[in-house]
Structure 1
Amino acid sequence: MTHNVLVVDDEPKLCDLLASALGQNGVCVFTAGNGLHALKVLEAEDIDLVISDWRMPGMDGPQLLAEIKTRFPHLPVIVMTAYSTVKNAVQSMRNGAFDYIAKPFDIDELDITVSKALEFRDILKDNQRMRAELDEHQQIDSLIGDSPSFRRVLQAIDSVRESNATILLTGESGTGKEMVARAIHKHGNRADKPFVAVNCAAIPEGLLESEMFGHRKGAFTGATSDRVGRFQQADGGTLFLDEIGEMPLALQAKILRALQERIIEPVGDPRERKVDVRVIAATNKNLLEAVAAKEFREDLYYRLNVFPIPLPSLRERAEDIAPLARHFAHILGATAGKRITGFSAEALQAMANYAWPGNIRELQNCVERATIVASGTVIEDQDLPAYLFAARPVDSSGIFTDGNSVPSNLDAALAEVEKNYILAALAQSNGVQAAAAQLIGISERSFWYRLKKLGIHVDKIVR
């Protein structure tokens, strides 16, 4: 794992010396000439260790140490001083410094002190990551259900979790693809290593290559320092590539090479780096259709599709709606300071009749709102959002189940289904069109086209 170290000293020659010495051990070194400059670097970069001089003009070492302990309490600091007295050393340690070294210092002694500090930083990061993952699983772990379609998902997770095979998760937006990816990582042979998630659709195309592979200082305008990419961050662990279908064609070839050869090349750096990552990709697109349309590389598709796991929509696992809702009510009720014991029969029936275009994510949002609104320990049908009762009930194929006969005009019936889905998504998203488009798994442009075609005028919807 590459570490970033910030050296703060008003003597440029000493900064260069430390950068050269630490760089031989694979450390990426940033430098700052004073405390104020150092704080700017800390705000912009992911720094693992600060080595700071004791006496500097402006903000000196003790002042910088105090600021770091306030803003970055878990960041270790090593203090350097040419005025090595017991008083200075004790003061720095009492104020939170990890250690101190006296100038002039021995390089071997420096290496030992730096190694100990970085090891300490790694332990803290691992503990923070594990706590965060534990909290996330406790709060929104949605791997719950006993429907046949979901049991197949659980069986697939159990089959592949101990392997290093590349996995492709497919399914509608909101079906829990990231939760499945985290479960595979958590219960696999890389559980003690990093889990790094990247949303390929959320990063601007011009920055995606740098985000994935990293870059060298000066590689492009704005590259003011070296940056470690997501592949290196996930080294030894799991890299989750969400919305892989949105990845630009130009970058797909480099992703393919990284998967095939486990080698990456940071932007602006001709040196290749080996990485050991387990890749899990996810998409709500039909990638075979994208391949046929020349929007996705065929060779990358087959490289990703080593172990496919299709995730069912919530409509296809309707018997899981009630246990999922109870789970969310228990967790979210506790978070809101309420004791929710369950749902009334009418509330459960209303949720069973609804189509859930946003799947598990929409169900969780619905239950969260209901727990806030509910006045008692049982969630009633009136506590549920009104949009659940606006659309006609459908089964897993999208056919109406309210007893009406087959429609004589298929196009009109399909338009009504489409309109109901869009209205429900708009209600769920409080009228935010981009969020509504994401709920039903289509692009914003496609969503706007459908609004115009169906004559839907959007106002801010208050739930």
Structure 2
Amino acid sequence: MQDKSDLHPGAILVVDDNSGVLTAAKLFLKRHFTQVETERNPENLPVLLANMRYDVILLDMNFTKDRSSGKEGFFWLERILQVDPSAVVILITAYGDVEMAVQAIKGGATDFVLKPWENEKLLATLFSAMKLRASKVENDELKAKQKGLAIAHNDAIPEILGNSTAMRKVFETINRVAKTEANVLILGENGTGKELVAQAIHQQSNRTNEHFVKVDLGAITETLFESELFGHVKGAFTDARDDRPGRFEAANRGTIFLDEIGNLTAGLQAKLLSALQNRMVTRVGSNQARPIDVRVISATNMPLYEMVKDRSFRQDLLYRINTIEIHLPSLRERAEDILLLAEHFLQLYNRKYNRNISNISAALKKALLAYPWPGNVRELQHAMERAVIMARDSGTLQPDDFMLGSNHSLESEAALNAATMNLEDMERETILKAIKKHQGNISEASKELGLTRASLYRRLEKYGI
């Protein structure tokens, strides 16, 4: 038995209506290539090409309907190139002549051989054709990458800061998972830094030299979902003026970050699951499946496990995306990091706005620690930026330099949260304590509070939790 390690990697398809030719071709070629398939009926070509990408296609020019003109061969050559423009096709015929050979090459064929062929010559032709195919595929991938540059995110990655126990656990998980190919699901409230964690994983991975592509699934409409993620071909719809790779192709060999994955409808979840399972995408308007090699990192602030119970999120999709889970703590749960972050943002915006504010007053530090930061790190960052811009030229930030979303100063807001009798504020704090006690389990928190899950969700939205 022949050792498979001696075979040349490649997939060859032979299309001929003569069973004897197919048998002879397969017996010879399978001694040299890892995969050889044969097909008598050219009508099956569209289905074959939709399910498989062949390195070389050997195509008969004359089938039973027309034995000498070669018209059928030219017809099927055109169809093959419509499905796969980078296909490498070698036409074979017993009635070849120079004129037909020239016409075949002009029609897009790579080469032309006569029956009966010489085995060594056929083999040399196939090896040459496979090199051409590899070059075409590499060129297509390069073009897709170049078109995808506009949607790839390769900016410098800000440092993730934190000395708290909760954040040290996050850093440890990042270090362990980054070098693997495991899909990662990042869970956490809005503003906790889920995208930064995704970028950090990519930066420390074996894919760091390839693209990191972010997709905000919450911002993509249902009608544009397939075009954005899988791409489209020219003429697929009114505004499709050119072939365009989707986000998956732009991220090929790199990392794709699927943010707000909990926002997908059931129909879109099914389409995404199919692409992830098959590791293939099909551009809108095409029937050619394209292989993808991406590392998938997903994120959401929604309770996916509760949504699985409610059947609003597919369990099989959840299993597909959460080989490893990372739970990002809210800023309330890592209060010891607040002053560290504040100092970092102070220096950042001093440089950006050419300010020279060197200190944070003791009163401000107390106020920063007392405020609950419902918008998490993002809210703290924006608050520090505004404070640096608007601060007096005293060189020290004070509580009244801060204006929050409610247009109250940080000092008054912190004082209110420290000792409040306002019923809404008390309810908000009670909800936060229940959620923290049950580690984010909405069902358990709602039971303790004596609320339905729907009522609790409405209050979470009301208070911006």
Q: Counterparts of 1:415 and 1:175 in 2: how far apart (Å)?
A: 19
* Paired residue type of 1:282: A
Match of 1:413 among 397, 415, 426: 426
Match of 1:336 among 346, 353, 359: 353
Q: Counterparts of 2:221 and 2:195 in 1: how far apart (Å)?
A: 21
1:150, CA displacement in angstroms?
0.7
Q: State the partner residue of 2:306.
A: 289
The reply on whether 1:389 has 2:406 as its aligned counterpart is: no
Q: For each residue in 1:344-387, what CA deviation from the matched residue of structure 2 results, as whole angstroms up to 9, or x when unmatched?
A: 11111111110101001100000001111122332222222234
1:199, CA displacement in angstroms?
0.4
After superposition, residues 32-431 of structure 1 pair within 5 angstroms as 133-134=155-156, 137=157, 141-374=158-391, 375-385=393-403, 386-391=408-413, 401-402=418-419, 413-414=426-427
* Paired residue type of 2:427: L
Q: Counterparts of 1:310 and 1:246 in 2: how far apart (Å)?
A: 18
1:342, CA displacement in angstroms?
3.0
Is the contact made by 1:198 and 1:242 (CA closer than 8 Å) also made in structure 2?
Answer: yes
C-alpha change, 1:337 and 1:213, in structure 2 (3 Å) is same
* Paired residue type of 2:402: L
Q: Counterparts of 1:401 and 1:285 in 2: how far apart (Å)?
A: 29
Q: State the partner residue of 2:27.
A: none
Q: Counterparts of 1:121 and 1:259 in 2: how far apart (Å)?
A: 19
Q: Counterparts of 1:217 and 1:126 in 2: how far apart (Å)?
A: 19
C-alpha change, 1:128 and 1:213, in structure 2 (3 Å) is closer
1:260, CA displacement in angstroms?
2.0
Q: Counterparts of 1:411 and 1:255 in 2: how far apart (Å)?
A: 41
Is the contact made by 1:216 and 1:227 (CA closer than 8 Å) also made in structure 2?
Answer: yes
TM-score (norm 1): 0.59
1:417, CA displacement in angstroms?
7.1
Q: State the partner residue of 1:435.
A: none
Q: State the partner residue of 2:33.
A: none
C-alpha change, 1:271 and 1:336, in structure 2 (3 Å) is same
Percent sequence identity over aligned pairs:
41
* Paired residue type of 2:314: R
Is the contact made by 1:217 and 1:226 (CA closer than 8 Å) also made in structure 2?
Answer: yes
C-alpha change, 1:241 and 1:334, in structure 2 (3 Å) is same
Q: Counterparts of 1:162 and 1:361 in 2: how far apart (Å)?
A: 28
Q: Counterparts of 1:202 and 1:122 in 2: how far apart (Å)?
A: 23
Provide the secondary structure at the position in 1 that maps to 2:191.
Answer: coil
Q: Counterparts of 1:306 and 1:351 in 2: how far apart (Å)?
A: 37
Provide the secondary structure at the position in 2 that maps to 1:224.
Answer: coil
Provide the secondary structure at the position in 1 that maps to 2:218.
Answer: coil
Is the contact made by 1:344 and 1:380 (CA closer than 8 Å) also made in structure 2?
Answer: yes
Q: Counterparts of 2:258 and 2:159 in 1: how far apart (Å)?
A: 20
Is the contact made by 2:144 and 2:250 (CA closer than 8 Å) also made in structure 1?
Answer: no
Q: Counterparts of 1:355 and 1:250 in 2: how far apart (Å)?
A: 38
Q: For each residue in 1:151-189, what CA deviation from the matched residue of structure 2 results, as whole angstroms up to 9, or x when unmatched?
A: 111011001000110000000000000010001111111
1:262, CA displacement in angstroms?
1.1
Q: Counterparts of 2:290 and 2:168 in 1: how far apart (Å)?
A: 40
Is the contact made by 2:186 and 2:325 (CA closer than 8 Å) also made in structure 1?
Answer: yes
Q: Counterparts of 2:173 and 2:195 in 1: how far apart (Å)?
A: 15
Provide the secondary structure at the position in 2 that maps to 1:196.
Answer: strand
1:392, CA displacement in angstroms?
5.2
More deviation, 172-181/121-130: 121-130
1:292, CA displacement in angstroms?
1.7
1:269, CA displacement in angstroms?
1.4
* Paired residue type of 1:388: L
Provide the secondary structure at the position in 1 that maps to 2:258.
Answer: strand
1:225, CA displacement in angstroms?
2.6
Q: For each residue in 1:23-59, what CA deviation from the matched residue of structure 2 results, as whole angstroms up to 9, or x when unmatched?
A: 9558xxxxxxxxxxxxxxxxxxxxxxxxxxxxxxxxx
Aligned-residue CA RMSD (Å): 4.0
* Paired residue type of 1:171: G
1:418, CA displacement in angstroms?
8.2
Provide the secondary structure at the position in 2 that maps to 1:332.
Answer: helix
Q: Counterparts of 1:261 and 1:163 in 2: how far apart (Å)?
A: 20
Q: Counterparts of 1:227 and 1:120 in 2: how far apart (Å)?
A: 10
* Paired residue type of 1:363: L
1:234, CA displacement in angstroms?
0.2
Q: Counterparts of 1:282 and 1:305 in 2: how far apart (Å)?
A: 10
After superposition, residues 429-448 of structure 1 pair within 5 angstroms as none
1:224, CA displacement in angstroms?
2.9
Is the contact made by 1:245 and 1:296 (CA closer than 8 Å) also made in structure 2?
Answer: yes
Larger Rg: 2
1:415, CA displacement in angstroms?
6.0
Is the contact made by 2:151 and 2:250 (CA closer than 8 Å) also made in structure 1?
Answer: no
Is the contact made by 2:367 and 2:415 (CA closer than 8 Å) also made in structure 1?
Answer: no
Q: Counterparts of 1:231 and 1:417 in 2: how far apart (Å)?
A: 43
Q: Counterparts of 1:351 and 1:276 in 2: how far apart (Å)?
A: 45
Gap runs ≥5 in structure 2: 1-80, 88-134, 433-453
